[in-house]
Structure 1
Amino acid sequence: MTREDDFQVPLEDEPDLVAGGDPHSRADESAMEPPRPLNWNLLTSTNARFEWNELDGWVKWLRDTYGLGPTTLPPFWHRHWDLVWELSALHLHWLCAYDPQQHGSAPLGWHRDFHDASVRLRNWTADCGTKLDRDRPTRVAAWPGAPLRELATEVVIADRDADFAAFVDADVAGRRAREDALIAAIAAA
């Protein structure tokens, strides 16, 4: 064992690493491409499952590494699009800042922006009403002339990982159904 081995970070402390232990690697064919912004509205069912799991692994790493409490990073972030978009952007920023080709000061810029993002995360978490052990859909006020929205109640969620898996399954199934309907409409035309 060399002195350098004393400073190695165990792999289990890293976000969802692929073979080789490079946190900048991706398990799909885009591994050689630079990270690109992710538009959740345009993902296919196949890509959505992959991206959800990538983001979840990174968010868990972020939470553990920075000791983020549930008022900043709630366990049910995946149920609230404002949190998904913010965390997705933060993840992309992290990937770019820690890319080996990046300038040496890029991580400092990420930390500055992470501080700003943490403030937004706290605000959105307070607004959406998600808590440590329960969640409810984000309340959105009806605009004048629009139909009133039904107020959703809180549900207790005992197993966060099971809830995440069920959420992703439902999201992927919804995307697949829309893809199938589009294919059927094209075939019928």
Structure 2
Amino acid sequence: MTSTPSGSGQGGDASAEIIADLAAELEQLAGVVAGLAAAPPPSKAAKSEPPPRPWSWLRMSHVDKADRLAELGDWLTQVLFAWPAAQRAILPCWMRHWDVIEELSMLYCCWRTAYLWEEATAGDAAEFLDRWLPGAIARIEVRLRPCGQGHHPDDPRRDDTAALAPVLDELRWL
């Protein structure tokens, strides 16, 4: 009696068919994985812009410094001087003190993060009000104390635009 490969042949054909089906599925899955790897993760795609970055005054041109200083001055007048403690602590000569400008820039960045950044939370605003604002005001008050310009009234809100204009012109001229 001779053994016929028909029994093993049928099993071999079935195995070959299963392997071919698995190879086709594997190829399809590889395509899906490649597509997923190329696409950004859902959490990254849904994110908005990053939080505001602090300014680096040392890296700015004089024109950029003037522009940022003008932006800072507008923010002081429009926002920060709503707090009487800030208005009292930040003397009109603030724009001549680079250490104070650095402090105000940091505070402005924290305020923008807390109130303008799309992903800001109530905790960001609370941290600004409880931590950053009082700390910056206290440090600025100490830094400007030697200027000795006395008490500034709580009302009306101060506008330093006229005092800031010559400083901006000087920076833009440099």
Aligned-partner SS, 2:127: helix
Q: What's the counterpart of residue 85 of structure 2?
A: 68
Instruction: Establish whether residue 168 from structure 1 lines up as the match of residue 159 from structure 2.
Output: no
TM-score (ref. length: structure 2)? 0.59
Distance 1:63 1:130 in 2: 21
CA shift in 2, pair 1:122/1:170, >3 Å: same
Q: What's the counterpart of residue 110 of structure 1?
A: 128
Q: What's the counterpart of residue 58 of structure 1?
A: 75
Q: Please tell me the residue identity of whatever aligns with 1:115.
A: P
Distance 1:38 1:45 in 2: 14
CA shift in 2, pair 1:130/1:50, >3 Å: farther
Distance 2:127 2:108 in 1: 14
Q: Please tell me the residue identity of whatever aligns with 2:57.
A: W
Q: Please tell me the residue identity of whatever aligns with 1:107.
A: A
Q: Please tell me the residue identity of whatever aligns with 2:134.
A: H
Kindly tell me the number of residue pairs found equivalent between the two proteins: 117
Distance 1:125 1:57 in 2: 20
Aligned-partner SS, 2:139: helix
Distance 1:94 1:114 in 2: 9
Greater Rg, structure 1 or structure 2?
2
Distance 1:166 1:38 in 2: 22
The answer as to whether partners of 2:80 and 2:87 remain within 8 angstroms in 1 is: no
Distance 1:43 1:130 in 2: 31
* Deviation of 1:118 (Å): 1.3
Q: Please tell me the residue identity of whatever aligns with 1:77.
A: W
TM-score (ref. length: structure 1)? 0.54
Distance 2:150 2:97 in 1: 14
Aligned-partner SS, 1:105: helix
Q: What's the counterpart of residue 183 of structure 1?
A: none
Distance 1:76 1:45 in 2: 19
* Deviation of 1:70 (Å): 5.4
Unaligned runs of 5+ in 2: 1-48, 152-158
Unaligned runs of 5+ in 1: 1-31, 134-158, 175-189
Question: Once the two structures are aligned, what percentage of the paired residues are identical?
Answer: 23
CA RMSD of aligned residues (A): 2.4
* Deviation of 1:126 (Å): 0.4
Q: What's the counterpart of residue 82 of structure 1?
A: 99
